[in-house]
Amino acid sequence: MRHPANKLDSEENPNPLEEDAGYIQPQTVPWDADFLIGMATVPECKSSENDDILSVLTRVNREVSKGEFLNHKQMPEPKYTLTKKLVLKYIPPDSTRRPPFQESLFTSPYRCEVRDGRLCTLALSYMTGSISSHYATKAVFLALGITAVVCVAVTVFCFQTKVDFTKCQGLFCVLGIVMFVTGIITAIVLSFKYMLWLHMLYAAMGAIAFTLFLAYHTQLIIGNRKHSISPEEYVFAALSIYVDIVQIFIFLLQIIGSFMK
C-alpha cells in the first residue's frame, strides 16, 4: 500500500515507491514481521502435545505429501516471517482470564511445579545447614568460597568452550548410577568400620561428578547445543543448578572438614 503522494513523487524522484519506503536502518526487520495467527487445534478441543509451529507445519507437509488425489501429489507451502521460535501450548479455558505470564504461572500444573520447587529448595537448605553445623566455621566458609569459584569457572567454561556436554546424556546417566551405587556401598562399609581414605575418595568422586553435572545443566540452560531446556521448564532448570551447587559444597565440606579436625 502506498502512502499519499508528495511533491518528490512527481517532480524530483523518478521512483516514488523508493521514496515512500523511507530510510532502511541496519539490523531491523519490517513492522509486519514476527506476526502469525495459528491454533494448534480448533476451539473446545485439546491439542495432543506442546510443539513449536514450525514442527507442526512440517508434520502437516509430510502427511499431506504422502497422499495422492486423482494421480496428483499435493505439497503445502507455508510461508512466515518469524524471527523467534513460536511454541503452541494448550491452556485450559478459564472464566477469569489472566495475563499470559500469570496464566502460565498460576494454572494448576505450573502452580504445583512452583510449589514443589519451593519445598525442595527449603528441604535442601535445611539439610545443608544441618550438615554444616557439624563442621568448624572456617571449614564451612572455605568450602563455600571454593564452591563459588568452581561455579563461576564452570559457567565461564560453558560459555566459551566448543565441547557439547549435552551430547553425553548416556554418560551422565551411567555416572549418576555409579555414584548412587557407590554411595550405598560406602555408607554400608563405613557404618561397620570408618576408613578415612574411603570417605575422602567418595567425597572427591562426588565433587568431580557434580561439577560435570553442573557443566551439563548449565549448557542445557544456555542453549545453542544439541539439547536444551525449554524456557517453560525454568523451575526444573533452577532446581538442577541448585542441587549441583549444594552437592559440590557438601562434598568439598567433607574433604576440608576432615583435614581441619
Q: What is the pLDDT of residues 188-197, one digit of tens each?
A: 999 999 898 9
pLDDT at 3 over 50: no
Nearest Cα residue to 213 out of 184, 178, 188: 178
Residue 62 scores a pLDDT above 90: no
Per-residue confidence (pLDDT) for residue 66, from 0 to 100: 77
| Residues 6 or more apart in contact with residue 73 via CB below 8 angstroms | 65, 67
Whether the per-residue pLDDT at 63 is higher than 50: the answer is yes
Grid cell digits, residue 41: 487445534
Task: Kindly report the backbone phi and psi dihedral angles of residue 194, in degrees, each rounded to the nearest multiple of 5, phi listed first.
Answer: -75, 130
- Listed by start position, the domains of the chain span 1-102, 130-259
Q: Do the Cβ atoms of 91 and 104 come closer than 8 Å?
A: yes
Query: pLDDT value at position 23?
Result: 55
Distance between CA atoms of residues 14 and 8, nearest Å: 8
State how far the Cα of 247 lies from the Cα of 261, in Å rounded to an integer. Answer: 21
pTM over cut 0.75: no
- Closest by Cα among 173, 172, 203 to 186: 203
Give the CATH class of 1-102: alpha beta
Are 47 and 88 contacting, i.e. CB atoms less than 8 angstroms apart? yes
Which one, of 46, 45, 44, 41, lies nearest residue 60 by Cα?
41
In angstroms, the CA 140 to CA 40 distance is 52
> How many angstroms separate the CA atoms of 60 and 55, rounded?
9
